Amino acid sequence: DTAVSQTPKYLVTQMGNDKSIKCEQNLGHDTMYWYKQDSKKFLKIMFSYNNKELIINETVPNRFSPKSPDKAHLNLHINSLELGDSAVYFCASSLPGTGVFFGPGTRLTVL
């Protein structure tokens, strides 16, 4: 199936730990994103990469570090996790004018 996939689907961890979320798209899109959705369902863009190059870096703590090894992959590493990092993280991809296609999300719970 052509899609945006991300792993894991659920992530439960203790404060202070480091964790990674992986994302892959096989849609041939040039641009990939990370979005954060909080408990009030508000969606906020975190990062955008175009052909492995960082394009958008919103006001996100530098504990969050995206990495794009190639244009089909965009991973998110989070250091020193905090309670406020609990949210659903969505990976997405797009071509200009196509709209954004989302992965299924990773529900991160920090205890």
Which pair of structure tokens corresponds to residue 59?
Answer: 């006001």
34 binds other proteins (CB under 8 A): no
**Interatomic CA distance for residues 3 and 32, integer angstroms:** 12
Among 55, 63, 80, 111, binds other proteins (CB under 8 A): 55
What is the radius of gyration, based on Cα positions, of the chain?
13
Smallest separation (angstroms) from other proteins to the CB of 37: 9
* Per rule CB under 8 A, count of chain residues that contact other proteins: 25
Determine if 54 is a binding residue for other proteins (CB under 8 A). no
d(CA 44, CA 89): 10
Dist. CA 80–CA 35, nearest whole Å:
19
Q: Could you say whether residue 111 binds other proteins (CB under 8 A)?
A: no
Q: Contact with other proteins (CB under 8 A): which of 33, 66, 81, 87?
A: 33
Q: In this structure, what token pair is assigned to residue 28?
A: 């041939």
Interface residues with other proteins (CB under 8 A) are 31, 33, 35, 40-45, 48, 50, 55-56, 90, 94, 96-105
